[in-house]
Structure 1
Amino acid sequence: MSYDLVLKNGRVIDPSQSIDKVADVAFADSKVAAVGAGLSGRRERDVTGYLVTPGLIDLHTHVYWGGTSLGVDPDSFAKLSAVSTCVDTGSAGPGNFAGFRKHVIDRCEARVLAFLHVSFAGIYGFSKNIMIGEGHDMRLLAAREAVEVANANRDVIVGIKVRIGRHASGPSGIQPLDVALQVADQTGLPLMAHIDEPPPSYEAVVSRLRKGDILTHCFRPFPNAPVDGAGNIKPEVLAARERGVIFDIGHGMGSFSWKTARAMLAHDFLPDTISSDVHALCIEGPAYDQVTTLSKFLALGLPIADVIAASTVNAAKALQRPELGTFKSGSAGDASILELRSGSFDLEDVRGEITTASERLFAGGLVIGGKLIEDAQPTQAAAE
């Protein structure tokens, strides 16, 4: 049988099926058609020496380009970072989601899914010179409108977003979380909660989250780290994992610390999902992109299969989108082509600490909906 497209001779890593072997991956009618040996297609690309994984899902991005000051272009980011699905987390709220959908989501090559912000205008005041937490004024929280917009856009809205902390919610404290939880309950969608510096505390926020809800920025530095001064995981964090809360990295410009990560991994507490939280203020560092963020966990000693799982099958489960993050026959026809290089690579955290890694992932190509994206190439950060 001849398929539409075949990626040939790559090292196929698909944690959803426990696959790690040299094989071909075939696509037909925009779906995954087969994984095996000796497959042929009308179009073929030899990917010998590369890793081939289900399309990477970046569970935390900001890609409302032009509509918010923190947005980056999703197609450019996807192509340069081998990400097939960008999940925007709260850039838009119910007051401006229609514009996000019409001008970005419906027009771009990359798949864009969204967590709808419970704040009416989303994250509207986030730049180098202006930083206005959208949760500071409770009058901006739009519960009824959020339910209406989420229900009208269930094909692309996958959850509800709220940002909590001294910077994001300020004098409102933890109250926006209470509103967001009600919206999530009314829509039957998971909630993603951002946590920055206290107040409120990391413990207070994570204690409110339910099974299937997501705590992003889970490996934050002090203050509001998940570990105490002795490096022990706080009891509320362990209790949250026990009841099924999902822990997401959300690196960004202030939310990943080597010190915290080492402490968490020393207690065998791995993140469920790894995401970049890419936005206009961290795309040139310290987050850069998804492949850089994933590489940091290779440097921490995680096996490559676990790192890939955290950006494929685990992310798909968090989104409740089983057609993503897998090479099972009939699934979404997405693939990431990655290069794993050996060498000496300096990787920074948000506090400026640098760890020198002996291997690093680079973007090598991208397939979305069974189509090879021709101009996908490594990021500038990756090339340096």
Structure 2
Amino acid sequence: MVSSKPKWDVLIAGGRVIDPKNAVDTQLDIAISEGSIASVGTGLSRSNADSVIEADGMLVVPGLIDLHTHIYHKATAYGVDPEPIARRSGVVTMVDAGSAGAGNFAGLRDFIFARSPLRLLAYVNISYPGIFAFDRDFVVGEAAVRELLSVDHCVAAVQENIDLVVGVKVRLGANTSGDLGLLALDRAIEAAERVGLPVMAHIGKPPPTYAEILARLRPGDILTHCFRPAPNAPVDTRGDVLPALIEARARGVLFDIGHGMGAFGFKSAESAISHGFLPDIISSDVHALCVDGPAFDLLHTMSKLMHCGVALADAIAMATHHPATAMGRPDLGHITIGGPADLTLLKLVNVPLRFVDVLGQERIGSSRLSPCGAFAAGQYIESEIRDFESL
């Protein structure tokens, strides 16, 4: 007897599919079966699916990737619970950016990653304890102590967790690396070279300078907080993009937003974008000190960058295909038959919205991206819509 069981678990019908990697921007149906993309096309039969999501009026995009988060929840003072953030931002993959070092990465793996339905990945901090003392009232820089910058321990931690690790993180700046900034960067690069992964370098207030950091970064390395305000802004006093950024991009260095509580200024962003220097990646740097503003989450940060002049399709690429490529994960960041069913459903809502940067500067936007649901390897993640209109 022929089975009448539907061949698809879910059919997402009639959404506007934007898939930058595959150069798709059109209305399509997407079928999911056993955690993978089973079919993509028009007029797919609803009767072949156990359930149907009517996506007319929605954007259907590859599962959003937030490349810079801090989700070592309860083990660090600034870590946030990843799942509520994912539900309100449509994020499927969250990458912890160096909360843990070799000394405590096992806890991040066992107590956070192993218990989550999300796709969680991480950068290992070059400093042995990771980011251990970060609050509104004080910062003790983990990269300012020479003895904590152990290349051997970092390499061992990466090798023991290679299925979860996408690179090596180093935080550079007066409050985080003190006078050891370039040494910390050199050690992070040495560790990354030994394991064949990129470095993500945080830039804060000098020392070191923007140019000094970029001069050491290799093709594929990531400069996060790229549109931070002065000092160490990406533009000079006239608003021109620093030559060091243009030279670094030409040799393959990547630039990530990493908004956070202190690393996104409208003046920097608007000047750089108006000169044609767009970020490669949009990330939130969400943590306990910015989750209620000014960064909030990835969707809010994407909406903010769109207000600054980034086109919708480009913003989606900067939160899907581009971070997937930066992590060396070609399986992620696109919608391809046979690939993982990582999908985010969104609406572009036309509504007045007050955007605020880390200096308190304001802009009034006219639209925002709002979540409608997501799938992580075919597992549905319900959305929680947060009202930002009164902010």
TM-score (norm 1): 0.97
Counterpart mapping for 1:107-126 below 5 A: 107-126=115-134
CA distance in 1, matches of 2:288, 2:388: 15
Give the deviation of 1:380 after TM superposition. Answer: 4.6
The answer to whether the 8 A contact 1:87-1:115 is kept is yes
CA distance in 2, matches of 1:97, 1:211: 26
Distance of aligned partners of 1:130 and 1:85 in 2 relative to their CA distance in 1, 3 Å threshold: same
- Matched with 2:20 is 15
- Matched with 2:3 is none
The answer to whether the 8 A contact 2:98-2:124 is kept is yes
Structure 1 gaps, min length 5: none
CA distance in 1, matches of 2:386, 2:96: 20
Deviations 1:119-140 (A, max 9, x none): 0110010122331111111111
Deviations 1:331-370 (A, max 9, x none): 2211111110112111111111111111111111111111
- Matched with 2:62 is 54
The answer to whether the 8 A contact 1:363-1:379 is kept is no
Counterpart mapping for 1:148-167 below 5 A: 148-167=156-175
CA distance in 1, matches of 2:22, 2:51: 25
The amino acid that maps onto 1:17 is: N
Give the deviation of 1:70 after TM superposition. Answer: 1.1
Counterpart mapping for 1:190-201 below 5 A: 190-201=198-209
Deviations 1:8-44 (A, max 9, x none): 1111111111111111111112111222122231111
CA distance in 2, matches of 1:33, 1:223: 50
Work out whether 1:264 is the aligned partner of 2:265.
Answer: no
The answer to whether the 8 A contact 1:282-1:288 is kept is yes
Report the count of equivalent residues.
Answer: 383
- Matched with 2:149 is 141
Structure 2 gaps, min length 5: 1-5
Work out whether 1:255 is the aligned partner of 2:247.
Answer: no
The answer to whether the 8 A contact 2:78-2:288 is kept is yes
Query: Which of 154, 171, 181 is the matching residue for 1:173?
Result: 181
Query: Which of 181, 196, 203 is the matching residue for 1:188?
Result: 196
The amino acid that maps onto 2:186 is: D
Deviations 1:210-250 (A, max 9, x none): 00000000011110011111111111111100000010000
Work out whether 1:303 is the aligned partner of 2:308.
Answer: no
Q: Secondary structure at the match of 2:341?
A: coil
Deviations 1:183-224 (A, max 9, x none): 011111000000100111011001110000000000111100
Work out whether 1:292 is the aligned partner of 2:300.
Answer: yes
The answer to whether the 8 A contact 2:353-2:389 is kept is no
Query: Which of 361, 374, 378 is the matching residue for 2:385?
Result: 378
Query: Which of 351, 360, 366 is the matching residue for 2:374?
Result: 366
Q: Secondary structure at the match of 2:179?
A: helix
The amino acid that maps onto 1:155 is: D
CA distance in 1, matches of 2:126, 2:354: 38
- Structure 1 runs of 4+ aligned residues shifted over 2 Å read 379-384
Sequence identity of aligned pairs in percent? 45
Work out whether 1:341 is the aligned partner of 2:349.
Answer: yes
CA distance in 1, matches of 2:362, 2:220: 33
Distance of aligned partners of 1:383 and 1:7 in 2 relative to their CA distance in 1, 3 Å threshold: farther
Q: Secondary structure at the match of 2:101?
A: coil
Deviations 1:236-266 (A, max 9, x none): 1111000000100000011111111111112
CA distance in 1, matches of 2:239, 2:316: 27
TM-score (norm 2): 0.95
CA distance in 1, matches of 2:106, 2:80: 18
- Matched with 1:325 is 333
Give the deviation of 1:46 after TM superposition. Answer: 1.2
Q: Secondary structure at the match of 1:106?
A: helix
The answer to whether the 8 A contact 1:284-1:381 is kept is no
- Matched with 1:78 is 86
The answer to whether the 8 A contact 2:70-2:78 is kept is yes
Give the deviation of 1:381 after TM superposition. Answer: 3.7
The answer to whether the 8 A contact 2:89-2:297 is kept is yes
